[in-house]
Structure 1
Amino acid sequence: MNQEYIKADNWSIIEEGFDQETVKSSESLFSLGNGAMGQRANFEETYTGPTFQGSYIAGVYYPDKTRVGWWKNGYPEYFAKVLNAPNWIGIDVLINNEPLDLFTCTAVKDFRRELNMKEGWYKRSFIATLPNNGAKVQVVITRFLSLDIDEVGAINYNVSPLDQDVEVTFVPFLDSGITNEDSNWDDKFWNTTEVHSKDNRAYIQAHTMKTNFKTCTFMASELLLDGKILNVEPNAKQKETWVGHTYTQKVKQGGVITLHKFGGYTVSRNHKADALVEAANSVLDQVSQLGFNALLEKQKEAWAAIWQMSDITIEGDEKAQQGIRFNIFQLNQTYLGTDPKLNIGPKGFTGEKYGGSTYWDTEAYCIPFYMATKNQNVARNLLRYRYEHLEKAIENAQKLGFNNGAALYPMVTMNGEECHNEWEITFEEIHRNGAIAFAIYNYYRYTGDYSYIPEMGLEVLIGIARFWHQRANYSEAKNKYVILGVTGPNEYENNVNNNWYTNYLAKWCIEYTVKQLHKVKDGYPDDYERIVGHTRLTSNEIDKWEEVAKGMYFPYSEKYGVYLQQDGFLDKELITVDKLDKMERPINQKWSWDRILRSPYIKQADVLQCFYFFEDHFSQEMLEKHFDFYEPFTVHESSLSPCVHSIQAAKLDRMDQAYQFYLRTSRLDLDDYNKEVEEGLHITSMAGTWMSIVEGFGGLRIIDDKLSFNPRIPNKWKSYSFKINFRNRIIKVTVSASGTKFKLDGHEQMSIRYKGKRLELNPGEEISA
């Protein structure tokens, strides 16, 4: 299937023409979210063709029992699953008592979808001819999830008969008889406890099995004829897991019958468990008083405020512009930073793959985006999330045989417990610990807010340093400390010894932790005494950490002059990717796992991930040498891969290559590079797309505690611009072929570096550099 059916547009995602083959892909691409809930772009009316139904509530999950062929000690007992929640968007539509179903209609014309990213709404329109009675109707539906009142969404459903007078029946309904696409044992995830209806409102109360999240799914509807509200009482029907309201109205040819439906969820995470219906009524009172149009205007205002800070403009390349705005839009739909108990799942609210859980993607890729486009509290909340899970991280390490407060943060989690069920990742992909430590360093480097470290971060760092100390062991043969049996970011190598990236992170984490101990002791003595007392840390233990850091082994090739990805990398048959038959790509779908593990092919940046994190530790010449050695073996079959390579190619002034990597990361889902978009979008890698422009093309770095820029521009672009919130001062950067302009908002002067030279910015003035 050719994925390139999405029309290029600066501010919208547009599909024109109805194609049953693209329905599931479009359900992902046109997804909606507001940080508290989200849904795939499923049709409101009946659709009997292939579809992937999905509505999701932030923070609500089920511990699906692990399914493995052979149980090993230390396996997580469950894989957390984000749950397909009770469906509130459903509206059965009947024309002269015949169901409207685009799968069976004899003709569907002028089909169009639009996801308006500027204003935060989704619209679908079409003309359909019903197969039996031949009635021809025009249908226009607008839907959005409110940012202002984030427990509710709204639907405006219009039907207009084109060739005859008809009788239209709307049946807005709620349905808790739903299942997950992704399930290990086909367990029953939901238990419905009460279904009831009153006037034009209806409610289903249900709770999750095992985790016992209590929810109320609710709706309210009103009917309008030619724009005027009809005061009609619906006919209510209910079943064990379903409740619907039936409205029937005769409509003249050319007239318009409209259903307004408000729906959503109240959840025991945010309300008292016995007051969910009361909370639902409070929400419905609010939105009913406002009405659909006023609520939509508030939606537009809320999105305007988000774009005011986070927008990136690109002049001269519509597809690139559409790509970056799509990425920024979906990131803001997924996480807004208002709830410190939430985090960012790799699929957001667009699908069920990866369980909706938190990965190291948050610390490595997402935090930079949220630091620069929000206030620092949003990033601080993401770091607080890890601090709140420290005890669980210590428990995770204990299950694997570690002690004395060593902490191993999970590869995959909902509540701090490890819930990934593949041994080569659960036990071995321990570099995630380093990403969390790096995020603490990165947060302070960027925001200048050191308070997080004595308040919370130092305890996290101590637990991580203890883990690295215990995970390394002394090799008499090498007279060095080694780390055996790991998987690096390149998941196409498992159970390898001395993954260079992992070893480097371990050394850096220990050294960074020791520095912070000294700094907190000198500057925050009360916090230091509290932390040392709580963790029972001794100077003797710190000495042992430092011995490991100083004696860490790093595999290196004298022949190639590069650090080796792992001890045995040069034992592989070093055939570069360009020699692979295109019919054998992607290798993760075409090759056996045995063949992949013996190959030199790299899923995503591994050695180069380290060069990205610690760029200032290495010379430009070293980066170039390692990039030239490893990138030709990289198949980029992870969504996290192109962005890092784009940033580094830009630094090396290889702008054609940097641009191609940027296009791949920005349009990964829009153009379905991985042929899997129907499963959901790649949300966390979208933050990497933002980094590709700001850190790659814009050359943003923090050097000597100051913002530094070394901008470049792709040949195809006339200009691009972005904003950065740096320590509560907002700088707008505009780059064109003729030069760069900076404009500072705020009240204080600040200095930055531009291509290595100091530049003074005054509030309100635009400076050309």
Structure 2
Amino acid sequence: MNLDYIIPNNWSILEEGFDPDQVKASESLFSIGNGAMGQRANFEEHYSGPTFQGSYIAGVYYPDKTRVGWWKNGYPEYFAKVLNAPSWIGIDINVNNEQLDLFTCKKVENFGRELNMKEGWLSRRFKVTLKNNLELQIETKRFLSLGLDEVGAIEYAVTPLNSNVDLVITPYIDAGITNEDSNWDDAFWNISNLTVENNQAFIEAQTMKTNFHTCTFMQSECFINNQNIGLQPQVEKTDNKISFIYKTSINQNETFTIHKFGGYTVDRDHNKNELVEAAKSTLSKATTAGFAQLLENQKQAWAKIWDMADITIEGDVKAQQGIRFNIFHLNQTYSGTDATLNIGPKGFTGEKYGGSTYWDTEAYCIPFYMATKDQEVARNLLTYRYKHLEKAIENAEKLGFKNGAALYPMVTMNGEECHNEWEITFEEIHRNGAIAFAIFNYYRYTGDFSYIPEMGLEVLIGIARFWHQRANFSTNKNKYVILGVTGPNEYENNVNNNWYTNYIAKWCIDYTLETIEKVKEGHSNDFERISGKTKISHEELALWKKVADNMYFPYSEEENVYLQQDGFLDKELITVADLDQSQRPINQKWSWDRILRSPYIKQADLLQGMYFFEDKFTTEELERHFDFYEPFTVHESSLSPCVHSIQAAKLDRMDQAYTFYLRTSRLDLDDYNHEVHEGLHITSMAGTWMSIVEGFGGMRVKNDTLSFEPKIPNQWEGYSFKVNFRHQIITVSVSQNETQFILEGDKDLTIYVDGKEVSISPNNRVTV
């Protein structure tokens, strides 16, 4: 597959020329979503070539029974799977008894596809010669409405170029679908009802086991040369599909257009017995507005998002396209209005990772949503974890922990652990620390302490209890150790004293103790309620402190660095530069045994800790550890380049920072990891945003104040971004010579730029 087929453009993802080998990759790259649902960029018309069909509804999943060779105590019963939902996009095209199929037709010319990120729509255009020598011009446009988030709209236009034709157009909804990713090939859906009424079709179906009730719906209108022809369809029903068959004749060079509206109503939002009525109401709003007005509304909704979230880059189209692609998909995936939803690593673009929530949300996504939306959005993500606290306590109990210790799941839909690789499920316990860090980070950035007495402190207590019980005292080291873990570097399993895990465990306990005192002093009623509920005592807190104060951190005097884990120096320390490039990526070329014995690091591990807790280490310490560990890092996790870009920028290594930035921003567009056909890397896209704002922009919150240390790659003429800091919006514009700040708000703000105090006042430009 040609990995460089996406055409550089500031605002669009563009593909020119039809190549069946690129179809699955394009289906991922051109995916669309609106927070409530999403879909891969599958063709509307029939396609018989290799394709990965995917339509997904937010929050709807199936507990696919765990499949492992040998069952171990504590294994989750299931792996949650985001479900391929019934499809509403299908429109079969038949011309003079010949089916339109790009895989089997005689010729495809002038094929072009555009994902317009500025306005939020997907289009295709092509000229096709069918087997019967008919030539057609096809133009399509579709979008998932942000304003009416249960509905999507398609405009599909057919123009015969060399003959008058008999045309049969068949829009349909189809619940006879399967998941690409399934353990046992179970049926995931039970279809309960198919109904047709007034040119509207409805399929009611519910998921097996989880019993989510859904209604998939559609309605269509037909036009010739933009005139509505009031065409009435024949209706065809099978056990799982409803088709509307429209037949007409059109002359050469006339254009037949169908407007199709479709989507889902779900019992997460409506009474399960009223889903068809809700669908009728949604269709009424959509058809009353019409395709053109809905599209105009879509453009305005995206303009509002971009006004706050956009990052501009001057002089580097590939870098500009990359960051907008990342910001676009983050906004397509999660809108922030529903505290029962979260952000899956693939979003709505594929089924890998089950579509579930990982620690990525707390470590990478919350900063993006805090700064580009209202802080309520980030608070909702924290509320999501609070609502799952009881499940986190249950998860810990299943592994033998007690007294309210909480272990948040590595992978979850509803708070239960549903990841079934033991080295991740049982050992990648550092995820607990990311959740505590997000609480700290939220308060540090927003200044909103209210979440902590309301919800956060209970979460912190559960996490601190887990770390206290998970550490054990080593008489040999005369320190507390944490054994048998997997750190962020998943290329080392079952290691002892992973530095990052030990460090974040100590930090969590210290932060929880400090927060308990703060709540006790300032929110006595909340403290009484929480202490009564959790039954914390002075004796227990003293035991926690003993563990935190005496935590062991492996260190090499010879290398003058902390060790990623006890046995790191026992490895054959061959750097990535000396690794045969034909062996890359090692996760696709090597056995797991060989990977585990190698020194190669999948993503920032010890350096992840130095990113989170930067203020605890000197720049010289960061530089020493960066120089030691980055040469062993293969960056085969999507979460790796962004952290390294931020740290390289801090160390004034701008060429390296720029290279890492391009890798994180174009990870999917350039398919660095040779897996884009499986879906996009949504959560790491937030890390891309951080690599500009925190990396090049040097944004931090220090001593309750916003601080910047702006830098700019030589490849750029300038860049700018906005952040919403405590309800005041700051625009930061950096050029090769200066940095400018503009404040939107109603009061002055003091910031620090390169360590110096700068006062900015509303609507005045300040140049540094």
- What is the TM-score when the length of structure 2 is the normalising length? 1.00
Q: Give the secondary-structure state (helix, strand or coil) at the position aligned to 1:560.
A: coil
Q: Report the equivalent of 1:325.
A: 324
Aligned partner of 2:68 in structure 1 is 68
**Cα distance in 2 between the residues matched to 1:353 and 1:538:** 44
Alpha carbons 1:199, 1:233 under 8 Å: kept = no
The alignment partner of 1:276 has SS state of: helix
Partner of 1:457: 456
Map of 2:263 onto structure 1? 264
Once residues 501 and 482 of structure 2 are traced to their aligned partners in structure 1, the CA distance between those partners, rounded to angstroms, is 8
SS of residue matched to 1:291: helix
User: 2:380 & 2:494 partners in 1: Cα distance?
Assistant: 34
The alignment partner of 2:402 has SS state of coil
**Which whole-Å deviations, capped at 9, do the CAs of 1:672-699 have from their partners, x for residues lacking one?**
0000000000000000000000000000
3-state SS of the aligned residue for 1:359? coil
Aligned match of 1:4: 4
Partner Cα distance (1:196, 1:466) in 2: 54
SS where residue 593 of structure 2 aligns?
Answer: helix
Give the corresponding residue for 2:36. 36
Counterpart in the other structure of 2:523: 524
1:747 Cα offset (Å): 1.0
AA matched with 1:331: L
Q: Identify the residue that residue 747 of structure 1 maps to in structure 2.
A: 746
Give the aligned residue type for 1:534: K
Residue number in structure 1 paired with 2:117: 117
**Which runs of structure 2 are paired with 1:12-161 in the superposition (5 Å)?**
12-131=12-131, 133-161=132-160
Alignment correspondent of 2:194: 195
The more displaced of 294-303 and 244-253 is: 244-253
Written as runs of structure 1 = structure 2, the 5 A alignment for 1:325-474 is 325-474=324-473
Are 1:546 and 2:551 an aligned pair?
no
Q: What is the rounded CA distance, in whole Å, between the counterparts of 1:231 and 1:596 in structure 2? A: 64
Map of 1:646 onto structure 2: 645
Q: Tell me how far apart the structure 2 counterparts of residues 240 and 678 of structure 1 sit (CA, whole Å).
A: 31
1:632 and 1:616 map into 2 onto residues whose CA distance is: 24
Q: 1 CA distance for matches of 2:693 and 2:400?
A: 42
Query: Is it true that 1:213 corresponds to 2:219 in the alignment?
Result: no
Shift of 1:556: 0.3
- Give the distance between the partners of 1:464 and 1:492, measured in 2 at CA: 25
Quote the offset at 1:196 in angstroms. 1.5
Q: What does residue range 226-265 of structure 1 map to in structure 2 within 5 Å?
A: 226-265=225-264
Cα distance in 2 for partners of 1:750, 1:70 equals: 60
Identity %: 71
Q: Secondary structure at the match of 1:460?
A: helix
Distance between the aligned counterparts of 1:766 and 1:250, measured in 2?
Answer: 62
Deviations 1:500-558 (A, max 9, x none): 00000000000000000000000000000000000011111000000000010000000
Instruction: Provide the C-alpha distance between the structure 2 equivalents of 1:318 and 1:324, rounded to a whole number of angstroms.
Output: 10
Residue 204 of structure 1: CA displacement?
0.3
Query: Which amino acid counterpart does residue 35 of structure 2 have in structure 1?
Result: G
> Which whole-Å deviations, capped at 9, do the CAs of 1:585-626 have from their partners, x for residues lacking one?
111111111111111100000000000000000000000000
Matched residue, 2:585:
586
- Distance (whole Å) between structure 1 residues aligned to residue 759 and residue 644 of structure 2: 32
Give the Cα separation in 1 of the matches to 2:662 and 2:2. Answer: 17
After TM superposition, give the deviation of residue 98 of structure 1 in Å: 1.2
1:341-371 deviation per Cα after TM superposition (whole angstroms, max 9, x unaligned): 0000000000000000000000000000000
> Are 1:171 and 2:170 counterparts?
yes
Counterpart CA distance in 1 for 2:341 and 2:508 is: 26
- Matched to 1:269, the amino acid is R
Q: Is the 8 A contact 1:604 1:634 kept in 2?
A: yes
1:82 Cα offset (Å): 0.2
1:481 and 1:321 mapped to 2: Cα distance?
48
> Alpha-carbon deviation of 1:232?
2.0
Q: Report deviation, 1:199.
A: 2.4
Aligned residues: 768
- Measured in 2, the distance between the counterparts of 1:765 and 1:51 equals 53
Distance 1:609 1:525 in 2: 36
For residues 439-474 of structure 1, give each alpha carbon's deviation from its aligned partner in whole angstroms, at most 9, with x where no partner exists: 000000000000000000000000000000000000
Q: Do the aligned partners of 1:497 and 1:566 also contact (CA within 8 Å) in 2?
A: yes
Structure 1 SS opposite 2:460 = helix
Aligned ranges 1:699-714 → 2 under 5 Å: 699-714=698-713
Q: Check if 1:305 corresponds to 2:309.
A: no
Alpha-carbon separation, structure 1, partners of 2:443 and 2:125? 48
Tell me which amino acid in the other structure corresponds to 1:125: R
Residues 272-309 of structure 1 deviation map (CA, whole Å, 9 limit, x = unaligned): 00000000000001011000000000000000000000
Query: Hey, what's the Cα distance between the residues in 1 that align with 2:644 and 2:107?
Result: 47
Alpha-carbon distance in structure 1 between the residues aligned to 2:279 and 2:602: 46
The offset of 1:97, in angstroms, is: 1.9
Superposition deviation, residue 146 in structure 1: 0.1
SS of the residue 1:759 aligns to = strand
SS at match of 2:656: helix
SS in 2 for 1:743: strand
Match of 2:315 in 1: 316
Between the aligned partners of 1:678 and 1:232, the Cα distance in structure 2 is 39
- Shift of residue 110 of structure 1? 0.5
Q: Which amino acid aligns with 1:86?
A: P
8 Å contact from structure 1 (residues 146, 153) kept in 2: yes
Q: Within the alignment, does 1:184 sit opposite 2:213 as a pair?
A: no
Partner AA of 2:748 in structure 1? Q
CA contact (8 A) 1:556 1:562 kept: yes
1:173 counterpart letter in structure 2: Y
Query: Quick one: distance in 2 between partners of 1:667 and 1:425?
Result: 27
Q: Residue 355 of structure 1: SS of its match in structure 2?
A: helix
Structure 1: gaps (5+ residues): none
Write the distance in 2 (CA, Å) between the matches of 1:103 and 1:200.
Answer: 31
Structure 1 position 134, deviation (Å): 1.1
Paired residue type of 1:676? E
AA at the equivalent of 1:34: N
| Alignment-mate amino acid for residue 203 of structure 2 | I
Residue segments in structure 2 that go unaligned for 5+ positions in a row:
none
Cα distance in 2 for residues equivalent to 1:139 and 1:203:
28
| Secondary structure of residue in 1 paired with 2:190 | strand
Contact 1:196 1:238 in 2 (8 A): no
Deviations 1:632-690 (A, max 9, x none): 00000000000000000000000000000000000000000000000000000000000
Take 1:97 and 1:148, find their aligned partners in 2: how far apart are those partners? Answer: 39
Q: C-alpha distance in 2, partners of 1:425/1:48?
A: 38
Q: Distance in 2 between matches of 1:739 and 1:615?
A: 26
Q: How far, CA to CA, are the matches of 2:624 and 2:34 in structure 1? A: 44
Could you tell me how far 1:2 is from its partner in structure 2?
2.0
Letter in 2 for 1:555: P
Residues 752 and 758, structure 1, Cα contact 8 Å, conserved in 2: yes
Q: How far off its partner does 1:235 sit? A: 0.5
Amino acid aligned to 1:25: A
Q: Which moved more, 1:500-509 or 1:225-234?
A: 225-234
Task: For 1:281-292, list aligned pairs within 5 A.
Answer: 281-292=280-291
Take 2:191 and 2:278, find their aligned partners in 1: how far apart are those partners? 18
TM-score normalised by length of structure 1:
1.00
Counterparts of 1:548 and 1:35, CA distance in 2: 42
Residue identity opposite 2:86 in structure 1: P
**Structure 2 equivalent of residue 669 of structure 1:** 668
Question: Take 1:464 and 1:19, find their aligned partners in 2: how far apart are those partners?
Answer: 51
Decide whether the 8 Å contact of 1:199 with 1:234 is kept in 2.
Answer: no
CA-atom RMSD, angstroms?
0.4
